[in-house]
Protein backbone atom coordinates (compact mmCIF):
# COMPACT_ATOMS: atom_id res chain seq x y z
CA UNK A 1 0.00 0.00 0.00
CA UNK A 2 1.35 3.38 -1.02
CA UNK A 3 0.00 6.90 -0.79
CA UNK A 4 -0.75 6.96 -4.51
CA UNK A 5 -2.81 3.73 -4.34
CA UNK A 6 -5.11 4.81 -1.52
CA UNK A 7 -8.77 5.09 -2.46
CA UNK A 8 -12.03 5.25 -0.47
CA UNK A 9 -13.94 2.12 0.44
CA UNK A 10 -16.49 0.83 -2.09
CA UNK A 11 -19.76 2.72 -1.71
CA UNK A 12 -18.22 5.47 0.41
CA UNK A 13 -18.19 8.07 -2.37
CA UNK A 14 -21.56 9.46 -3.36
CA UNK A 15 -22.18 9.84 -7.07
CA UNK A 16 -22.66 13.45 -8.15
CA UNK A 17 -26.26 14.47 -8.88
CA UNK A 18 -27.27 14.47 -12.56
CA UNK A 19 -27.44 18.09 -13.76
CA UNK A 20 -30.35 17.99 -16.16
CA UNK A 21 -31.13 20.72 -18.70
CA UNK A 22 -27.79 22.54 -18.34
CA UNK A 23 -26.69 22.72 -21.95
CA UNK A 24 -25.81 20.28 -24.73
CA UNK A 25 -22.36 19.60 -23.35
CA UNK A 26 -23.84 17.86 -20.31
CA UNK A 27 -25.50 15.23 -22.48
CA UNK A 28 -28.80 15.99 -20.73
CA UNK A 29 -29.54 19.33 -22.36
CA UNK A 30 -32.32 20.14 -24.85
CA UNK A 31 -35.06 17.78 -23.77
CA UNK A 32 -33.69 17.42 -20.22
CA UNK A 33 -33.89 13.60 -20.44
CA UNK A 34 -37.68 13.73 -20.91
CA UNK A 35 -37.83 12.62 -24.55
CA UNK A 36 -39.67 14.66 -27.18
CA UNK A 37 -42.98 16.52 -26.71
CA UNK A 38 -46.12 15.14 -25.09
CA UNK A 39 -47.66 15.64 -21.65
CA UNK A 40 -44.86 13.78 -19.88
CA UNK A 41 -42.30 16.28 -21.11
CA UNK A 42 -44.23 19.29 -19.80
CA UNK A 43 -44.00 20.80 -16.34
CA UNK A 44 -47.02 20.19 -14.14
CA UNK A 45 -47.69 16.71 -15.56
CA UNK A 46 -49.30 14.37 -13.03
CA UNK A 47 -49.87 10.72 -13.80
CA UNK A 48 -53.18 9.74 -12.21
CA UNK A 49 -53.08 6.28 -10.68
CA UNK A 50 -56.18 4.89 -12.41
CA UNK A 51 -55.80 6.78 -15.68
CA UNK A 52 -55.83 4.54 -18.73
CA UNK A 53 -55.50 7.30 -21.31
CA UNK A 54 -59.09 7.41 -22.57
CA UNK A 55 -59.65 3.65 -22.45
CA UNK A 56 -62.62 2.69 -20.28
CA UNK A 57 -61.10 2.28 -16.79
CA UNK A 58 -61.03 -1.14 -15.17
CA UNK A 59 -63.31 -0.17 -12.30
CA UNK A 60 -65.96 0.90 -14.83
CA UNK A 61 -65.53 -2.10 -17.19
CA UNK A 62 -66.20 -4.67 -14.49
CA UNK A 63 -69.91 -5.17 -13.70
CA UNK A 64 -71.29 -4.38 -10.26
CA UNK A 65 -72.83 -7.26 -8.35
CA UNK A 66 -74.84 -7.51 -5.14
CA UNK A 67 -74.87 -5.05 -2.30
CA UNK A 68 -73.56 -4.64 1.23
CA UNK A 69 -76.29 -4.57 3.87
CA UNK A 70 -75.35 -1.80 6.30
CA UNK A 71 -77.62 -3.25 8.98
CA UNK A 72 -76.06 -6.73 8.96
CA UNK A 73 -74.71 -8.02 12.26
CA UNK A 74 -71.52 -10.05 11.99
CA UNK A 75 -71.05 -12.63 14.75
CA UNK A 76 -67.96 -14.59 15.78
CA UNK A 77 -69.35 -18.10 16.05
CA UNK A 78 -68.39 -20.85 18.48
CA UNK A 79 -69.76 -24.39 18.43
CA UNK A 80 -70.31 -26.45 21.57
CA UNK A 81 -67.38 -28.75 20.73
CA UNK A 82 -65.12 -25.70 20.40
CA UNK A 83 -66.26 -24.45 23.81
CA UNK A 84 -65.37 -27.87 25.26
CA UNK A 85 -61.84 -27.60 23.86
CA UNK A 86 -61.43 -24.03 25.12
CA UNK A 87 -62.77 -25.02 28.55
CA UNK A 88 -60.29 -27.89 28.80
CA UNK A 89 -57.32 -25.83 27.68
CA UNK A 90 -57.96 -22.65 29.71
CA UNK A 91 -59.96 -24.19 32.60
CA UNK A 92 -62.96 -21.95 31.92
CA UNK A 93 -66.60 -22.63 32.75
CA UNK A 94 -67.85 -19.08 32.19
CA UNK A 95 -67.90 -17.80 28.63
CA UNK A 96 -68.51 -14.11 28.03
CA UNK A 97 -67.08 -11.57 25.57
CA UNK A 98 -64.58 -10.31 28.17
CA UNK A 99 -63.10 -13.78 28.82
CA UNK A 100 -62.95 -14.60 25.11
CA UNK A 101 -61.26 -11.25 24.42
CA UNK A 102 -58.66 -11.81 27.17
CA UNK A 103 -57.74 -15.17 25.60
CA UNK A 104 -57.63 -13.53 22.12
CA UNK A 105 -60.51 -15.48 20.55
CA UNK A 106 -62.37 -12.29 19.59
CA UNK A 107 -61.71 -8.58 19.17
CA UNK A 108 -63.06 -5.96 21.57
CA UNK A 109 -66.12 -5.06 19.44
CA UNK A 110 -67.04 -8.56 18.17
CA UNK A 111 -70.46 -10.07 18.83
CA UNK A 112 -70.51 -13.72 19.97
CA UNK A 113 -72.94 -16.42 18.83
CA UNK A 114 -72.96 -20.04 20.05
CA UNK A 115 -74.00 -22.80 17.63
CA UNK A 116 -75.15 -26.32 18.46
CA UNK A 117 -72.58 -28.66 16.88
CA UNK A 118 -70.99 -31.12 19.30
CA UNK A 119 -71.68 -32.51 22.78
CA UNK A 120 -71.51 -30.81 26.17
CA UNK A 121 -69.95 -32.73 29.08
CA UNK A 122 -70.03 -30.05 31.79
CA UNK A 123 -72.13 -27.11 32.91
CA UNK A 124 -71.22 -23.79 31.29
CA UNK A 125 -72.31 -20.28 32.15
CA UNK A 126 -72.76 -18.32 28.94
CA UNK A 127 -73.21 -14.56 28.49
CA UNK A 128 -73.36 -14.14 24.72
CA UNK A 129 -75.04 -11.96 22.11
CA UNK A 130 -76.89 -14.81 20.37
CA UNK A 131 -77.38 -18.58 20.70
CA UNK A 132 -79.22 -21.25 18.72
CA UNK A 133 -82.09 -23.24 20.27
CA UNK A 134 -80.19 -26.55 20.08
CA UNK A 135 -77.14 -25.09 21.83
CA UNK A 136 -79.27 -23.49 24.55
CA UNK A 137 -81.14 -26.74 25.13
CA UNK A 138 -77.90 -28.80 25.33
CA UNK A 139 -76.32 -26.41 27.87
CA UNK A 140 -79.40 -26.18 30.07
CA UNK A 141 -79.74 -30.01 30.10
CA UNK A 142 -76.26 -30.22 31.68
CA UNK A 143 -77.21 -27.66 34.36
CA UNK A 144 -75.61 -24.66 32.72
CA UNK A 145 -77.13 -21.21 32.27
CA UNK A 146 -77.49 -18.94 29.25
CA UNK A 147 -77.85 -15.15 29.32
CA UNK A 148 -78.28 -13.02 26.19
CA UNK A 149 -76.50 -9.65 26.47
Q: 127-148, pLDDT tens digit by residue?
A: 999 999 999 999 999 999 999 9
Element (H, E) at 90: helix 80-90
Buried b vs exposed e over 97-109: b needs ≥16 C-beta within 10 Å?
beebeeeebbeee
**Model pLDDT, residue 15:** 86
The pLDDT of residue 2: 93
Cβ burial of 78 (10 Å; 0-12, 13-18, 19+) is: buried
- Is the full-model pTM beyond 0.75? no
Residue 38 vs residues 22, 41, 43, 49, 97: alpha-carbon distances, Å:
21, 6, 11, 18, 61
Confidence at residue 51, expressed as pLDDT on a 0 to 100 scale? 87
Pairwise CA distance, residues 14 & 51, whole Å: 36
What confidence score (pLDDT) does residue 16 get? Answer: 86
* Residue extent(s) of CATH 3.100.10.10 domains in the chain: 75-148
* pLDDT 10s digits, 37-67: 998 999 999 888 888 889 999 989 999 999 9
- pLDDT single digits (tens) 59-107: 899 999 999 999 999 999 999 999 999 999 998 889 999 999 999 999 9
CATH 3.100.10.10, applies to 75-148: yes
**How large is the average pLDDT for residues 97-119?**
94
pLDDT value at 36 more than 90 = yes
Asked if 131 and 146 touch (Cβ cutoff 8 Å), the reply is yes
SS3 of residue 89 by DSSP: helix
Note the pLDDT of residue 63: 94
pLDDT at 48: 85
Q: What is the CA radius of gyration of the chain?
A: 34
Q: What pLDDT, on the 0 to 100 scale, is given for residue 92? A: 87
Amino acid sequence: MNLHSLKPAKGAKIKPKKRIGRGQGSGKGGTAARGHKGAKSRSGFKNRRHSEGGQMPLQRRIPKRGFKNINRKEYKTFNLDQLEIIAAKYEMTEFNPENLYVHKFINRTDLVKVLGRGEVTQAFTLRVNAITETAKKAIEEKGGSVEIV
